């Protein structure tokens, strides 16, 4: 089915609810993150919650890389505060910078996963790069108009994703 290219491997409420410990136990060592509406509201600087998350991840042994379609003045300060590598102007859904992120982290598709809030950029790009994906619900419902329009289409895809999940055809 055409829509499957947009399906995440997992769908969770928040990046802060992901069972990072058990994923580490399963052999994952690298995490690629989106920023806006995944870790903080759109345009908001890194907050204490994000800092604590990245400290926890480093403590577990993870390497991280933030990739964002935003420009460097948005991404670099956030990455510096949480002490993560980053790639700005990533061109998602192109798989190119997901692959570059794994090179920076010295990981590969078998031990890396991606966390983001959008199907058509974040998840599709990670899927194209062969990376496991975790879609999270957007933190803030107030978004730019072009993203609001994409969310309507995403809801259609999510409807079919959830339907297949219930049938057991997605694991």
Q: Which residues contact 63 (CB under 8 A, 6 or more apart)?
A: 29, 30, 31, 85, 105, 106, 107
Question: What average pLDDT does the segment 142-168 reach?
Answer: 78
Judged against a pLDDT cut of 90, whether residue 166 lies above it is answered with no
pLDDT tens profile 81-115: 999 999 999 999 999 999 999 999 999 999 999 99
Single out the residue of 38, 48, 29, 166 nearest to residue 111, CA to CA: 29
String of DSSP letters for 74-122: HHHHHHHHHT-EEESS--TTSSHHHHHHHHHHT--TTSEEEEES-IIII
**Within 10 A of 52 (CB to CB), how many other CB atoms are there?**
12
Single out the residue of 108, 46, 101 nearest to residue 68, CA to CA: 101
Question: What average pLDDT does the segment 117-131 reach?
Answer: 96
pLDDT tens profile 51-84: 999 999 999 999 999 999 999 999 999 999 999 9
Q: Where are the domains of the chain?
A: 2-167
Judged against a pLDDT cut of 90, whether residue 146 lies above it is answered with no
Q: Which residues contact 169 (CB under 8 A, 6 or more apart)?
A: none
Fold of 2-167: Rossmann fold (3.40.50)
Separation of alpha carbons 30 and 65, rounded Å? 8
pLDDT tens profile 3-24: 889 999 999 999 999 999 999 9
Separation of alpha carbons 113 and 136, rounded Å? 13
The structure tokens listed for 163 are: 């339907």
pLDDT tens profile 27-48: 999 999 999 999 999 999 999 9
Edge to edge, the sheet with strand 63-67 lists 10-12, 132-136, 112-116, 30-33, 63-67, 85-87
Question: What average pLDDT does the segment 147-157 reach?
Answer: 78
Query: How would residue 155 be classed by pLDDT, with cut points 50, 70 and 90?
Result: confident
Go through 97-129 and write b for each residue having 16 or more CB atoms within 10 A of its CB, e for each that does not.
bbbbbbebbebeeebbbbbbbbbbbbbbbbbbb
């Amino acid at each position: 089915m055409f829509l499957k290219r947009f399906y995440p491997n997992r769908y969770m409420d928040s990046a802060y609810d992901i069972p990072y410990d058990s994923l580490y136990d399963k052999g994952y060592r690298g995490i690629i993150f989106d920023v806006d509406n995944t870790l903080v509201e759109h345009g908001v600087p890194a907050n204490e919650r994000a800092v604590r998350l990245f400290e926890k991840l480093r403590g577990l042994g993870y390497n991280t890389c933030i990739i964002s379609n935003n420009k460097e003045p948005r991404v670099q300060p956030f990455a510096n505060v949480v002490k993560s590598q980053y790639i700005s102007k990533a061109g998602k859904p192109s798989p190119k910078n997901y692959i570059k992120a794994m090179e920076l982290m010295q990981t590969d598709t078998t031990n890396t996963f991606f966390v983001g809030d959008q199907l058509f950029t974040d998840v599709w790009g990670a899927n194209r790069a062969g990376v496991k994906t975790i879609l999270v619900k957007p933190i803030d419902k107030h978004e730019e108009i072009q993203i609001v329009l994409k969310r309507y289409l995403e809801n259609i895809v999510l409807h079919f994703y959830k339907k297949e999940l219930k049938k057991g055809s997605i694991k």
